[in-house]
Amino acid sequence: MSSVTKIPASEHGINPREIDKKARTILKSLTDAGYEAYLVGGGVRDLLLGFHPKDFDIATSATPEQVKEVLPSTRIIGRRFRLAHVHFGREYFEVATFRAPHDDSDKGQVGQHGRIIHDNVYGTVVEDAYRRDFSINALFYDLKNGEVLDFVGAMDDLEKRQLRMIGDPVVRYREDPVRMIRAIRFAAKLDLSIEPASEAPIRELSSLLGNIAPARLFDEALKLFHSGQAIKTLELLREYHLLEYLFPQAEKSLNEDIDKDGKEGTYTKLVYAALTNTDKRIRADMPVTPAFLFAVMLWKRVREGSIMYSELGNPALQSMHLAASDAFGEQVKCISVPRRFSNMTREIWTLQGLFAFKNERRVLRFLEHKRFRAAYDFMCLRVRAGELPEEECEWWTLIQEVDAAEKKAMCLAASPGKSKSRNKRRKNG
């Protein structure tokens, strides 16, 4: 367990200038103060794979309190996992103290199902490496001499392009079931295979995700579907029976959305079109919103519910609101959704009905609505999925591009009967 492979800078090819300057400042400050400190985890992994890391996490022998002594801008957070966040204005870097195997003290408790409850048992860099989840996340970069430290055979796994759990996969998944989701995310994002022993227990243990706090799964869901590989992620989640614990209504809708000849319906096409669009936006470094993800995933349930409530005699808008409340009521049992996103999702849904009205006054007012663009994008995806005629997206695309006179002409052409009636009323009035 104590053996280490040291890969010199001449072999691994990491350029220290690719590491964020602030992260380098933290590493240097801690080592100058006499502590061990390394860049660790995804930052090292991504640099070795040729990606530009989004996060630069640091592991150190210093306790959170000692980190704060060296770097006064530090804030100590967490109870289950005590961490140091070193702030640079609004930006911060996560600094974790080396962790050791669990014991039976108050600092390191494991619950009834094997899940970690408290995790503040500090240890050495070697012990910390073996505590990490997957081998490729257990590489340590030493800024002082440029070496990469490998305690768990991670470099071999990177060469094989495989994801391997450190230790007994069953025990490790039970410690933290979210590791199953992380396995899917890394496999999809980094185009890795999951090593057979690490893959085998996932389907059997997938139900453990039901014990995870819905608030935590919100963040994990965003990481999954906003990684730039949303289509592959969705397919892997379904293959390993994990989607049903994140988006149970979507899983049910996808299973139902197949006709007797095995052809996919409009909902499946909508989901794939939306996730393809999300991947393109992320790869182009364009913004995406969680509200859109939930709007797509829950759409079939909401649309069917809206029809049901309308048939019971409710007005169209009220029917949509009732169906939306039903869908979110079920969804938040698995993934809690902050209100700022759930409200935006509801608006995307309720605004769909306005695309049917093309008289000038309503069109001009609609175009000024703060959620018009999101609702328009969603409507055009419905067109791509075959749920609406192509003319709908084409008309609303053109109306945004033409001048005021042409807008008026388009609206008159789209609803001539209503315009004649209005002119007649004015003449008689």
Rounded-to-5 percentages of helix, strand, coil across the chain: 60, 10, 30
Cβ burial of 298 (10 Å; 0-12, 13-18, 19+) is buried
106 labelled catalytic: no
57 labelled catalytic: yes
Of the candidates 180, 175, 224, 232, the one whose C-alpha atom is nearest the C-alpha of residue 201 is: 180
Report the SS3 class of residue 308: helix
| Catalytic hit among 119, 128, 133, 279 | 133
- 8 Å CB contact between 352 and 307: no
As a whole number of angstroms, the distance between CA 323 and CA 62 comes to 52
Of the candidates 417, 365, 358, the one whose C-alpha atom is nearest the C-alpha of residue 392 is: 358
Q: What are phi and psi of 359, to 5 degrees?
A: -75, 150
Write out the H or E segment, with its range, that includes residue 149. strand 148-150
133 labelled catalytic: yes
Angle at 32 between CA 59 and CA 44, to 5 degrees: 30
As a whole number of angstroms, the distance between CA 308 and CA 302 comes to 10
Show which residues are catalytic.
Answer: 55, 57, 133
